[in-house]
Amino acid sequence: MAEPETMNQLNPAPFYLDCDTGIDDALALAYLIATPRANLVGIGTVSGNVSAAAGARNTLDLLKFAGHPDIPVAIGAHDPQNGVFRGGAPHVHGDNGIGGVDLIRSQHQPVQGSAPELLVQLAREYAGELRIVAIGPLTNIAEALRMEPKLPELIAEITVMGGAALAPGNITPVAEANFANDPEAAADVMAADWNMTLVPLDVTMTSVLEESHRQELLASPHPVSRALGEMLGHYFGFYVEIFGRPCAAMHDPLAAAIAVRGVEPALAPTIRVEVDTTSGPGRGQTVCDMRGLYVGYPDQRGARCRVVLSIAEEFPPHLLSTLQADRF
Amino acid sequence: MAEPETMNQLNPAPFYLDCDTGIDDALALAYLIATPRANLVGIGTVSGNVSAAAGARNTLDLLKFAGHPDIPVAIGAHDPQNGVFRGGAPHVHGDNGIGGVDLIRSQHQPVQGSAPELLVQLAREYAGELRIVAIGPLTNIAEALRMEPKLPELIAEITVMGGAALAPGNITPVAEANFANDPEAAADVMAADWNMTLVPLDVTMTSVLEESHRQELLASPHPVSRALGEMLGHYFGFYVEIFGRPCAAMHDPLAAAIAVRGVEPALAPTIRVEVDTTSGPGRGQTVCDMRGLYVGYPDQRGARCRVVLSIAEEFPPHLLSTLQADRF
């Protein structure tokens, strides 16, 4: 676990973000810039909600808009480990990935190396301190593990948004999108021996922004918050079929907030997790051993992954107050 | 759905029970004999908790004890469709399958034909009326489907105990024992076009007999109830590791009670169910499409299976009062 002194706000820990920007990725990115609890030292992109290249463009433009144009952004894997990228989720995130909102184009370009290369470089530079927040498919992280097998020793901890423990999936009945988009990479990442926290649909689907929250963002004096509110209009539209009302699950921002200790898990057992890499109906599922349900989920022998099932507070107030704290 | 007039107590519907007796099978069998809502016309056994042959012996002895020695019992499949029987669950049900309780041996023998043959024969005899309650692995039912492809048309409805929708599995993290013991047969049964109700762990694990209920059985004037109370001593011991206290989930009796309309489902959406027949970590899982969770589980297009997620009342009082209604 993190040493408390490394997480304080005077000396925030260095973070690498791996993302597929994406509307909720945009919110997570804005959160990581706005929070005093993180020092965002590098970002890699991966195909997921949009292509890795489009995600990098969105990320660069958001960084410029948020006043941090110099954070290095590296383009990562276009295709999943054992397949080809299928075009993302424009019905969820809009054709440009950020709900059709036009940001001013940053003049900054992605760095030369790939996202896995950037991650390995930062892991060595910040050995023992770097924290990973992975909110897209895990293709880049798995590639970085192959490039540097000692990565788990170099990394302080990794927080992964993805999977579903007892909650339904969101791509298939049992599979969540990030894991389903690259089950083989996810399996490699989950099998590595590092300090890992999984933030699955069980908790992200109960961390929901409502229309009142969106209106608060739209009325904000901060341009970044207003742009995020605009993007959410598209995202809210998608969620009408899921929740029966305009709103949106805060998958990626919640993972970011848990990673920086902005919110604390309430129920988060350390349990065995296996990724289904078959071609059957469970492909991409996180097979979490939840059999401790009836006795309060004791930690399991041989388990490495902390699975967050609930958090100690309502998430939207924390997210909104952080985004609007005038740190951009 | 059943015509109400066929379910009344003056003219109870004919039932075929497929079981692997088993402590909770013994309770289900006693319930089906005791309830005025069912006319039990035949029983088949299958390897599961015990071997098909041992299950038939337990069933015959229970029938004699309960005053119905003439109900035909047929031995069914010893081995699952694509494998071999692995010896059952003596740690759960005791070496003899009924918690070590010694019943007086019935002089009746199993009928000549196999369980699938008995089922097909009864389905023709009671065409349009016969109801199946399947509380073991589905090997016999799948075999009967192969013997008589029109079985779904001949059967009024089938109620299956097994699977797990959002609840954890009980044999693997995601698979329930009946389905895990013969996933291929389960897949065949779930794919057939009949009026089907699934009673999964989601509802059976919340229908629990406590020690006070067991004491009530042990103090009963009815010998059958007292014997069931004795059997439950063994079963309760197994459940200490699951629930942290001596008690037991009423898997099979609940399925029987739902089949005869002794208890009514509260939440029971008709949803898509697929059985995982891969050799991956999800093998034997019932992949239920629970994505309607957030909007109250609307019935799904193309779905045939009603999945019982909750019932309208507490189950133990109904079970105990039925068992002790002096109908043996």
Determine contact, residues A186/A275, Cβ cutoff 8 Å: yes
The DSSP output letter for B137 is -
What value of ipTM does the predicted structure carry? 0.92
Give the β-pairing of B247-249 and B273-275.
unpaired
The DSSP output letter for B7 is G
Number of Cβ within a 10 Å radius of residue A37: 20
**Nearest chain A Cα distance for residue B165, angstroms:** 9
**Nearest chain B Cα distance for residue A188, angstroms:** 15
Q: What is the pLDDT of residue A5?
A: 43
Determine contact, residues B182/B176, Cβ cutoff 8 Å: no
pLDDT band at B6 (very low <50, low <70, confident <90, very high): very low
* Residue A272 touches partner B, C-beta closer than 8 Å: yes
CA distance A316 to B6: 54
* Residue B2 touches partner A, C-beta closer than 8 Å: no
pLDDT digits (tens, 9 = 90+) for B220-267: 999 999 999 999 999 999 999 999 999 999 999 999 999 999 999 999
Q: Do B282 and A287 touch (CB under 8 A)?
A: yes
What residues of chain B lie within 8 A of the CB of A295, using their CB?
242-244
Cβ burial of A312 (10 Å; 0-12, 13-18, 19+) is exposed
Q: What is the pLDDT of residue B19?
A: 98
Angle between helices B211-218 and B315-323 (to 10 degrees): 10
* Residue A67 touches partner B, C-beta closer than 8 Å: no
Known active-site residue B91: no
Determine contact, residues B231/B23, Cβ cutoff 8 Å: yes
CA distance B183 to B186: 5
pLDDT band at B9 (very low <50, low <70, confident <90, very high): low
Question: What sign for the dihedral angle of Cα B130, B135, B141, B143?
Answer: negative
> pTM (2 decimals)?
0.94
The DSSP output letter for A106 is P
What residues of chain B lie within 8 A of the CB of A167, using their CB?
166, 293
**pLDDT value at B154 more than 90:** yes
From residue A312, alpha-carbon distances to A35, A150, A248, A325, B170 in Å are 19, 34, 20, 22, 29
Is the residue at B1 inside a domain? Answer: no
Q: Do B291 and A167 touch (CB under 8 A)?
A: no
Q: Which helix (H) or strand (E) holds A41?
A: strand A38-45
Task: Tell me what the mean pLDDT of segment B110-131 comes to.
Answer: 98
pLDDT digits (tens, 9 = 90+) for B192-203: 999 999 999 999
Is the residue at B114 inside a domain? Answer: yes
CA distance B116 to B178: 17
What residues of chain A lie within 8 A of the CB of B285, using their CB?
174, 282
Q: What angle do CA A177, A180, A184 make, to 5 degrees?
A: 140
Token look-up 């065995």 returns A272
CA distance B22 to B256: 14
Question: Chain A residue closest to B206 (CA)?
Answer: A294
Mutate to test the interface with B, among A276, A277, A286 (most CBs of B within 10 A): A276
Q: Do A285 and B290 touch (CB under 8 A)?
A: no
Contacts of B262 (CB under 8 A, 6+ apart): B31, B35, B37, B256, B318, B322
Give the β-pairing of B310-311 and A310-311.
unpaired
Angle between helices B23-34 and B251-259 (to 10 degrees): 30
Token look-up 């609007």 returns A324
Q: How many helices (H) and strands (E) does chain A have?
A: 13, 14
Determine contact, residues B5/B259, Cβ cutoff 8 Å: no
Contacts of B149 (CB under 8 A, 6+ apart): none
Q: Do A289 and B167 touch (CB under 8 A)?
A: no
Count of domains in chain B? Answer: 1
From residue B187, alpha-carbon distances to B184, B271, B303 in Å are 5, 15, 14
Q: Out of B18, B20, B24, B61, pick the active-site residue.
A: B20
Number of Cβ within a 10 Å radius of residue A226: 15
Number of Cβ within a 10 Å radius of residue B300: 16
* Residue A174 touches partner B, C-beta closer than 8 Å: yes
Give the β-pairing of A13-19 and A38-45.
parallel
pLDDT digits (tens, 9 = 90+) for B18-28: 999 999 999 99
pLDDT digits (tens, 9 = 90+) for A39-64: 999 999 999 999 999 999 999 999 99
What residues of chain B lie within 8 A of the CB of A244, using their CB?
294-295
pLDDT digits (tens, 9 = 90+) for B76-89: 999 999 999 999 99
Type of residue numbered B12: P
Percent of chain B beyond pLDDT 90?
95
What residues of chain B lie within 8 A of the CB of A163, using their CB?
none
Is the residue at A176 inside a domain? Answer: yes
Which of B173, B276, B291 is opposite residue A290, by nearest beta carbon?
B173
Q: How many residues does chain B have?
A: 328
Determine contact, residues B290/B166, Cβ cutoff 8 Å: yes
CA distance A200 to A255: 9
Structure tokens at A248: 């949106």
Which of B279, B289, B295 is opposite residue A173, by nearest beta carbon?
B289
**Nearest chain A Cα distance for residue B283, angstroms:** 9
Alpha helices in chain A (DSSP H): 23-34, 52-65, 90-93, 115-125, 139-147, 151-154, 177-181, 183-191, 201-204, 211-218, 223-243, 251-259, 315-323
Q: Do B276 and A277 touch (CB under 8 A)?
A: no
Task: Tell me what the mean pLDDT of segment B64-71 comes to.
Answer: 96
- How high is the mean pLDDT of chain B? 95
Determine contact, residues A42/A16, Cβ cutoff 8 Å: yes
Q: Do B244 and A294 touch (CB under 8 A)?
A: yes
The size of the A-B interface in CB pairs under 8 A is 88
Q: Which residues of chain A are under the pLDDT cut of 50?
A: 1-6
Q: What's the domain range around B96?
A: 7-323
Reported as half-sphere exposure (CB side, CA atoms, 13 A), residue A107 has a value of 0
Determine contact, residues B153/B197, Cβ cutoff 8 Å: no
CATH code at position A265: 3.90.245.10
In chain A, the N- to C-terminal Cα span, in Å, equals 29
From residue B49, alpha-carbon distances to A102, B95, B135, B178 in Å are 63, 10, 10, 9
* Residue A302 touches partner B, C-beta closer than 8 Å: no
Which of B242, B282, B288 is opposite residue A285, by nearest beta carbon?
B282
Helix, strand, coil percentages (3-state) for chain B, rounded to 5, are 40, 15, 45
Give the β-pairing of B286-288 and B273-275.
antiparallel
- The candidate with the shortest Cα–Cα distance to A164, out of B288, B283, B277, B186, is B288
Contacts of B74 (CB under 8 A, 6+ apart): B42, B43, B44, B45, B56, B110, B111, B113, B114, B115, B117, B118
Known active-site residue A213: no
Which of B173, B289, B291 is opposite residue A287, by nearest beta carbon?
B173
Is the residue at B328 inside a domain? Answer: no
Question: Chain B residue closest to A245 (CA)?
Answer: B295
Q: What is the pLDDT of residue B312?
A: 96
pLDDT digits (tens, 9 = 90+) for B163-193: 999 999 999 999 999 999 999 999 999 999 9
The phi, psi pair for B75, rounded to 5°, reads -80, 135
Q: In the β-sheet with B131-134, what is the strand arrangement from edge to edge?
A: B73-75, B38-45, B13-19, B131-134, B157-161, B196-199, B305-307, B270-271
* Residue B240 touches partner A, C-beta closer than 8 Å: no
- The candidate with the shortest Cα–Cα distance to B266, out of B227, B232, B307, is B307
Q: Do B168 and A279 touch (CB under 8 A)?
A: no
What residues of chain A lie within 8 A of the CB of B206, using their CB?
none
**B198 by DSSP, 3-state: which?**
strand
**B45 by DSSP, 3-state: which?**
strand
Chain CA centroid to CA B275, Å: 18
Which of B274, B282, B290 is opposite residue A168, by nearest beta carbon?
B290
Q: How many residues does chain A have?
A: 328
Is the residue at B193 inside a domain? Answer: yes
* Residue A287 touches partner B, C-beta closer than 8 Å: yes
Task: Tell me what the mean pLDDT of segment B308-315 comes to.
Answer: 97
* Residue A243 touches partner B, C-beta closer than 8 Å: yes
Question: Chain B residue closest to A278 (CA)?
Answer: B280
Is the residue at A328 inside a domain? Answer: no
Reported as half-sphere exposure (CB side, CA atoms, 13 A), residue B46 has a value of 30
Strand partners, B42: B16
Mutate to test the interface with B, among A287, A301, A305 (most CBs of B within 10 A): A287
**B285 by DSSP, 3-state: which?**
coil
Which of A168, A172, A291 is opposite residue B173, by nearest beta carbon?
A291
Is the residue at B140 inside a domain? Answer: yes
